[in-house]
Chain A
Amino acid sequence: QVQLQESGPGLVKPSETLSVTCVVSGGYIGSFYWSWIRQPPGKGLEWIGHIYYSGNTNYNPSLKSRVTISADTSRNQISLQLRSVTAADTAVYYCARSSVDTTFDDWGQGTLVIVSS
């Protein structure tokens, strides 16, 4: 059974870069899509983007200018960078695995990142 474990800084200052990582265990990141999805406290889900193990990426148009998703096959982990953050980027950040790019098969437990000075 694959397990996805997100980790992040917990607190990021406005205008800085948010970086979170998803470590995958019990399976190899190859042949899957890996997405980042976020959920502001008390609000709904928002897809941020995904990476295919080959390196191809797709991003939410509303975040595209600030987002980079990368994959490290040697460490079996996926990373998210979100630049120039504001309080509106405060959220639980989830990573999710998909065999196709139209649904999300498995989810991590998420990591809360608060943007505040």
Chain B
Amino acid sequence: QSALTQPRSVAGSPGQSVTISCTGTSIDVGGYSYVSWYQQHPGKAPKRMIYDVSKRPSGVPDRFSGSKSGNTASLTISGLRAEDEGDYYCCSYAGSYSHILFGGGTKLTVL
């Protein structure tokens, strides 16, 4: 099964908002409320920012929010800060056969 589709890059200025999309199909993103988002800085392990579409783990700023419409999930980062720069990956449950799919990743640049 193919990876989920994300834009290769997005950019925004400090204080602005950016949205990263993650497009799948009805048997992954669209079929379950199990989309999560991970932030990765260079040379570091990924860190979970959102799970179950829109839930934030303890310690993640409320500037990070998630949503889903149909087969597309979105991560919105408001009040951009320099430390938000990095790669972001979406992830979806895809049923008992494929189980877990990742997106190809989006590089966020804070201008």
Chain A residues within CB distance 8 Å of chain B: 35, 44-47, 50, 58, 60-61, 94, 101-105, 107-110
Contacts and interface: CB of A to CB of B under 8 A. Distances in A.
Nearest to B1: A61
Interface of B: 1, 3, 32, 34, 36, 38, 44-48, 51-52, 57, 89, 91, 93, 96-105
A40 to B, nearest CB: 12
Contacts of A60: 98-100
Contact of A107 (B34, B47, B96, B97): B47
B104 A44 contact: yes
A102 B100 CA distance: 7
B36 A107 contact: no
Contacts of A50: 99
B48 A103 contact: yes
> Taking each of A46, A47, A101, which has the highest tally of chain B beta carbons within 10 Å of its own beta carbon?
A47
